[in-house]
């Protein structure tokens, strides 16, 4: 059964009223919801408290058994620091220069789709927080705000992530990004087929969502999210029109029905039409990284899609050192970063920069742009503290000697 948005609004209105008499109190008074967010995991709890279960599952879930999802976090626990002492750390630097552009910290906001289900105009909120912090932001193909809307609203170092579902349509998207002033194109290549995301399958999650009784019930107990949803319903803004081809493209983007024939020749063709920085995202094999560079990429992004594609994948951290030995171009990495210490460990193993996914999404889901800015500030403070603790005054001086050798071998072998 499907229910109209008007009925949904009425239902959530009763849910909001129910808060006064106690119907909604369990949502607000959960003992595990922190009163002050001190780290990313606190923001994870705040996001879970504000979002309906179906939406939080979309944000939090992985593929298949979700082993890769949990493995991404576990590998960081295997790595131990080996601090240096009697070093002048009175002035610490965490700024880097990437592709000729300076940024204040060695991380940035990576591409994530469907964000408008988390917070109204979430992609704009993420982009604005990134600009305020002095770090790049990456807009995804299935974003809730369009290429042009974000470019107009945020004058900063913006990247665009490209999914290839239709070759001609992808050329149009790349041209739009070029015209709008995006500095970097990120080609995601690990979605030739969609991951088996069982949480989304079980919940029937999609954008826009069907107003089923279960969604209504979820909305009643999450009235703040529900009112935002009604006033600003989620959409895939880069494909919004009455054109049948665009409607089909929205479905393909949401279902990640992408071009399974995309190969090295197709990468070379994309290189020919994109004159600015081109990165390839989704690499988990050092030899593939080498081929990407040989076929025109300016750098690569090691990633297992946050555990959302191959449920039994290794962590990109486990192939970072090998890839660094074989590739002299910039190496970026994502998947599982929740602490400033995690970022430092990746830099020590050879990464040039870290892309954040869920970490900043927890922030935007909990409190919009302000939440994102707070997550960024938390990570910056953690990085500064770790630099002091390990006796390294500048992130650009990090190297494997700051990590215990046995812990590196253990991490790579698990």
Per residue in 155-168, pLDDT (tens digit) is 999 999 999 988 99
pLDDT interval class at 10 (50, 70, 90)? very low
Let me know if residue 32 belongs to a domain: no
Residue 169 placed within a domain = yes
Tell which phi-psi region holds residue 256, choosing left (phi > 0), alpha (psi between -120 and 50) or beta: left
Phi/psi of residue 279, each to 5°? -120, 150
In this predicted structure, what is the pLDDT of residue 267? 98
For the record, the structure tokens of 319 come out as 């192939």
Catalytic residue among 71, 91, 222, 305: 305
Q: CB 413: neighbour CB atoms within 10 A?
A: 8
Structure-token match 């494997």, residue found: 400
Domain with 321, as residue range(s), is 66-195+253-413
Residue 284 maps to a domain: yes
**Which among 67, 61, 137, 71 is positioned nearest to 317, based on CA atoms?**
71
Q: Say whether 305 is catalytic.
A: yes
Sequence length of the chain is 414
Question: Cα(322)–Cα(106) distance, rounded to whole angstroms?
Answer: 21
Whether a cis peptide bond, with omega within 30° of 0, leads into 208 is yes
Nearest Cα neighbor of 334 from 106, 98, 149 is 106
pLDDT at 241 over 70: no
Q: Tokens 């074989």 — which residue?
A: 326
Residue 277 has phi, psi (to 5 degrees) of -60, 130
The full DSSP string for 183-217 is: -EEEEE-S-SS----HHHHHHT--SSPP--HHHHH
The mean-pLDDT minimum among 3-12, 205-214, 359-368 falls in 3-12
| Percent of the chain at pLDDT exceeding 90 | 77
- The reply to whether 43 falls in a domain is no
In a domain, 300, yes or no: yes
CATH of the domain at 326: 3.20.20.70
Residue 370 covered by a domain = yes
Q: Is residue 342, in this structure, part of any structural domain at all?
A: yes
Q: Where are the alpha helices (DSSP H) in 204-282?
A: 213-220, 223-231, 244-255, 264-273
On whether residue 185 sits in a domain, the answer given is yes
* Structural domains counted in the chain: 1
Local confidence band at 176 (pLDDT 50, 70, 90 cut-offs): very high
* pLDDT 10s digits, 283-318: 999 999 999 999 999 999 999 999 999 999 999 999
């Amino acid at each position: 059964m499907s229910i109209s948005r008007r009925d949904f609004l009425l239902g959530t209105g009763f849910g909001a009223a129910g808060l006064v008499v106690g119907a909604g109190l369990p949502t607000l008074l959960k003992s595990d919801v922190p009163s002050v967010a001190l780290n990313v995991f606190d923001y994870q709890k705040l996001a879970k408290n504000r979002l309906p279960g179906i939406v939080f599952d979309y944000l939090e879930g992985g593929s298949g058994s979700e082993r890769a999802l949990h493995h991404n976090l576990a590998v960081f626990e295997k790595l131990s620091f080996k601090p240096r002492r009697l070093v002048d750390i009175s002035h610490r630097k965490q700024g880097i220069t990437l592709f000729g552009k300076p940024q204040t910290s060695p991380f940035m906001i990576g591409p994530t789709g469907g964000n408008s289900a988390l917070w109204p105009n979430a992609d704009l909120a993420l982009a604005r927080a990134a600009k305020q912090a002095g770090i790049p932001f990456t807009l995804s193909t299935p974003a809730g705000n369009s290429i042009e809307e974000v470019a107009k609203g945020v004058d900063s170092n913006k990247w665009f992530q490209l999914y290839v579902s239709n070759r001609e349509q992808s050329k149009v998207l790349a041209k739009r990004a070029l015209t709008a002033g995006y500095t970097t194109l990120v080609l995601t290549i690990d979605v030739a087929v969609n991951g088996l995301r069982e949480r989304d399958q079980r919940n029937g999650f999609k954008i826009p969502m069907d107003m089923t009784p279960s969604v209504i019930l979820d909305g009643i107990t999450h009235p703040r999210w529900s009112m935002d949803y009604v006033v600003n319903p989620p959409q895939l803004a880069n494909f919004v029109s009455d054109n049948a081809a665009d409607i089909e493209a929205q479905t393909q983007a949401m279902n990640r029905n992408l071009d399974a024939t995309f190969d090295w020749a197709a990468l070379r063709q994309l290189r020919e039409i994109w004159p600015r920085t081109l990165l390839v995202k989704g690499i988990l094999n050092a030899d593939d990284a080498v081929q990407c560079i040989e076929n025109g990429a300016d750098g690569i992004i090691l990633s297992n899609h946050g555990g959302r594609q191959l449920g039994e994948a290794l962590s990109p951290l486990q192939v970072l050192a090998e890839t660094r030995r074989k590739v002299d171009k910039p190496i970026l990495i994502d998947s599982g970063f929740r602490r400033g210490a995690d970022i430092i460990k990746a830099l020590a193993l050879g990464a040039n920069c870290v892309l954040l996914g869920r970490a900043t999404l927890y922030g935007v889901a909990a409190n919009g742009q302000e939440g994102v800015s707070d997550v960024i500030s938390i990570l910056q403070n953690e990085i500064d503290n770790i630099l002091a603790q390990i006796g390294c005054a500048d992130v650009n001086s990090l190297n494997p000697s700051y990590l215990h050798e046995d812990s590196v071998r253990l991490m790579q072998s698990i």
